[in-house]
């Protein structure tokens, strides 16, 4: 399932990734991201914005997991 986010909100994206566990999503103006095992996969290393978003979403997913315990 592909989801297109019109605006980037880390918590919203993290919940989507954590619930679906595997798939892809897109953020308008940034590009397409893939995720597996409830984590966003490493994007192209030359795109610093995508790398930063991947780190922030995965950090938010970790915080969601901690908050649930």
Q: Residue 12: its pLDDT value, please?
A: 96
Helices assigned H by DSSP within the chain:
10-20, 48-68
pLDDT tens-digit profile, the chain (69 residues)? 689 999 999 999 999 999 999 999 999 999 999 999 999 999 988 999 999 999 999 999 999 877 665
Q: Write the CATH number for 54.
A: 3.30.1910.10
How many domains does the chain contain in total? 1
* Residue given tokens 């953020």 in the structure block: 27
Q: Residue 45: its pLDDT value, please?
A: 87
Q: Residue 1: its pLDDT value, please?
A: 67
User: By residue range, what is the domain housing residue 53?
Assistant: 2-68
């Amino acid at each position: 399932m592909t989801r297109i986010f019109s605006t980037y909100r880390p918590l919203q994206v993290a919940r989507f990734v954590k619930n679906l566990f595997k798939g892809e999503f897109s953020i308008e103006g940034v590009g397409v991201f893939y995720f597996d095992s409830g984590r966003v996969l490493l994007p192209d290393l030359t795109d610093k914005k995508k790398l930063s978003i991947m780190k922030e979403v995965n950090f938010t997913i970790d915080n969601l997991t901690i908050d649930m315990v």
